[in-house]
Structure 1
Amino acid sequence: MIADLLIHQVPENVNNKTPIAVPIKAPSQLQVVGQKPTHIKHGQDHFYEDRNFQGRSYETSQDCADISSYMSRCQSCRVESSCFMAYELPNFMRIQLFLRREEYSDYMHMGMSDSVLSCHMIPQHRGSFRMRVYEKENFRGQMHKMMEDCDSIHDRYRMANCQSTQVMEGHWLMYEQPHFRGRMIYMMPGEYRNLREMGDASWNPVRVA
């Protein structure tokens, strides 16, 4: 049952380096660049087979639905070009991590079981942020418009559940617990008629890009 809710944006220039642990779907592609490169190109993102940036590596600035097509696992990365969502399983499934521009030497310290097997690049958004959250599935029940972060939907609107949402502008993270904690879901513009399909939890919105 959805008991408490939270919403948050990640601004265009992100200074907070704390990774956040989230499930979603998107297209993908990844480019091989060889083993242990001696230099890092500015504006590219590098994914490594082993912890501490060791083993085979891949360079990309695009989505990848299945990193295991290129290497057996991915346990560290350097993010330089943009923000990414990283996923525990192929095809953008299971536990998610929000990766800002930073170096990540070991995913296990960030809540992942072992490695990242797919990733989705979050495009920059320079306009306004707008979304609607609904108490019930299929856009029914109590509705509230969101244009900024909300650390607890329950406290602000006395809304016990959030079971559907419409994202009009911007990219958002929906958090499982108040104050931007717990599992999260990345949401691009679109309609989401049943959030229970993404997990039986409370979801609180936050702007992400």
Structure 2
Amino acid sequence: MQSLQFMFTIYVTGGVFKGLGRPHRQGTTSPATMGKIIFYEDNDYGGRHFECNGDCTDMLGLLSRCNSIKVTCGCFMIYEKPNYTGQQYYLCRGEYPDYNRWMGTNDNINSCHIISSVPGSYNMRLFERLEYGGQIMDLVDDCPSVMDRFNINDIFSCNVKGGNWLFYEHPNYRGRMYLIKPGYYRRFSEWGGRSARVGSIRRIMDY
């Protein structure tokens, strides 16, 4: 099967460099899911910048660092390491003049993933044990405190029936975050979690 590609452009002082990047998954990006995100090396949108309208599995070599970002269309998860690994951050349309604005701890951003809207209603089933065991908890709206809602601190597995969601490590949408898309997650490591701790849960509705 032929590999699909997307265009990227790096603007540098005195010229423009254009090249091709390869998306992680095969398939097309429809106009409804197109986005635009611009990564800048320096604070306040200074230095070289890299513009992307879809997924990018590896930004190593494109920019030496990332200290500010603009999202002009769509919403994205950005990742500390290539191939959508490491600490992840959610960005919706807006301007982020320094990495503190996306709750970052350093200037390492090396991959990004566009989040496509999902038809249907939001529906998630949570489990207190691995592989869908233990107490079952259904969720259809935002949850600022998992402890207050369900009297537990840890989510070991889940089944997302509808909508894209974010897990946060701490209550009130703070701490490390994880993108949860429709599907089955038998254990917390499958959504990138370091542990089963989930303090709050929020629906992604910024398409």
TM-score normalised by structure 1 residue count: 0.76
Among 136, 139, 151, the residue aligned to 1:143: 136
Query: Aligned with 1:95: secondary structure?
Result: strand
Query: Aligned with 1:179: secondary structure?
Result: coil
Alignment match, 2:62: 70
Aligned residues: 178
Among 97, 104, 107, the residue aligned to 2:96: 104
Alignment match, 1:121: 114
* Larger RCO (alpha carbons 8 Å, 6+ apart): 1
Structure 2: which 5+ residue stretches go unaligned? 16-34
TM-aligned CA deviation for residue 157 of structure 1: 2.0
TM-aligned CA deviation for residue 160 of structure 1: 4.2
Per-residue CA deviations over 1:125-183 (Å, capped at 9, x if unaligned) read 45310110001000011111111011222222223431000111110001111221211
TM-aligned CA deviation for residue 34 of structure 1: 2.4
1:34 is the counterpart of 2:29: no
Letter in 2 for 1:202: R
Per-residue CA deviations over 1:105-134 (Å, capped at 9, x if unaligned) read 211453322231111111134531011000
Letter in 2 for 1:191: Y
TM-aligned CA deviation for residue 76 of structure 1: 1.4
The structure-2 alpha-carbon separation of the partners of 1:90 and 1:196, relative to structure 1 and needing over 3 Å to count, comes to closer
Check conservation: 1:136, 1:163, Cα contact below 8 A: yes
TM-aligned CA deviation for residue 29 of structure 1: 5.7
Alignment match, 2:178: 185
* Alignment RMSD (CA, Å): 2.4
Alignment match, 2:23: none
The structure-2 alpha-carbon separation of the partners of 1:160 and 1:99, relative to structure 1 and needing over 3 Å to count, comes to closer
Query: Aligned with 1:52: secondary structure?
Result: helix
TM-aligned CA deviation for residue 51 of structure 1: 2.1
Give, in whole Å, the separation in 2 of the partners of 1:183 and 1:46.
23
TM-score normalised by structure 2 residue count: 0.76
Among 73, 78, 84, the residue aligned to 1:81: 73
Check conservation: 1:108, 1:115, Cα contact below 8 A: no
The structure-2 alpha-carbon separation of the partners of 1:146 and 1:30, relative to structure 1 and needing over 3 Å to count, comes to farther
Alignment match, 1:52: 44
Identity %: 38
Which deviates further from its counterpart, 114-123 or 184-193? 114-123
